[in-house]
């Protein structure tokens, strides 16, 4: 991870790119992304999915020659966005502005199913786009304290 921050300039952090881009299944993607974000201290959430059925319907409608995907793939594409994406919108009227997670970060990873071999009709899931420039710091503390990564260990005697 590299960072440039001088005086009042906004933080700019560019994470290392993933070293693997093609996967045999969505489960393999999920496992890899979980390990990748833990290594780079990025926090992503799945923002959107396009189903295989929607993608195949668009192909039929446009009369494209693209190969239709088997419904067994589930989603056709998935977009992972940084947890700091979006804009802060206050709903409070009397309290001063609280620290907000939404900071307008544009970092995201796009993944979709693609044809590996037309003759054999084999498919794989591929990372198609990585925008890894964040407008905030990436720290192990922020990663470990995020709600999706905290582990509450409760013994059975405490239940």
Spatial distance between the Cα atoms of 101 and 104, rounded to a whole number of angstroms: 9
Which percentage of the chain shows pLDDT scores above 90?
36
Residue with token string 């992503």: 44
Instruction: Specify the pTM.
Output: 0.75
User: What average pLDDT does this structure show over 2-19?
Assistant: 70
Q: Is residue 62 part of a domain?
A: yes
Q: Is residue 93 part of a domain?
A: no
Q: Is residue 46 part of a domain?
A: yes
Q: Is residue 91 part of a domain?
A: no
pLDDT digits (tens, 9 = 90+) for 64-99: 888 889 999 989 999 999 888 877 666 666 766 555
Mean pLDDT estimate for the chain:
81
Q: Is residue 58 part of a domain?
A: yes
What is the domain extent for residue 139?
9-85+103-143
Q: Is residue 54 part of a domain?
A: yes
Integer-rounded Cα Rg, in Å, for the chain is 20
Per-residue model confidence (pLDDT) at position 83: 84
pLDDT digits (tens, 9 = 90+) for 122-147: 999 999 999 999 988 887 776 676 66
The residue among 84, 76, 144, 86 whose CA lies nearest residue 114 is: 76
Which percentage of the chain shows pLDDT scores above 70?
74
Q: Is residue 149 part of a domain?
A: no
Per-residue model confidence (pLDDT) at position 3: 46
Q: Is residue 98 part of a domain?
A: no
């Amino acid at each position: 991870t590299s960072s440039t921050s001088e005086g009042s300039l906004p933080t700019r952090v560019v994470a290392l790119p993933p070293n693997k881009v093609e996967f045999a299944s969505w489960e393999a993607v999920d496992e890899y992304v979980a390990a990748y974000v833990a290594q780079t201290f990025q926090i992503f959430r799945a923002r959107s999915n396009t189903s295989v059925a929607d993608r195949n319907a668009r192909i039929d409608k446009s009369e494209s020659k693209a190969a239709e995907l088997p419904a067994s793939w589930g989603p056709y594409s998935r977009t992972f966005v940084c947890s700091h994406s979006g804009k802060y919108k206050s709903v409070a009227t009397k309290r001063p502005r609280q620290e907000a997670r939404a900071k307008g970060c544009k970092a995201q990873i796009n993944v979709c199913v693609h044809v590996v071999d037309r003759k054999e009709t084999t498919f794989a899931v591929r990372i198609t786009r990585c925008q890894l420039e964040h407008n905030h710091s990436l720290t192990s503390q922020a990663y470990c304290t995020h709600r999706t990564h905290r582990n509450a260990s409760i013994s059975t005697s405490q239940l």
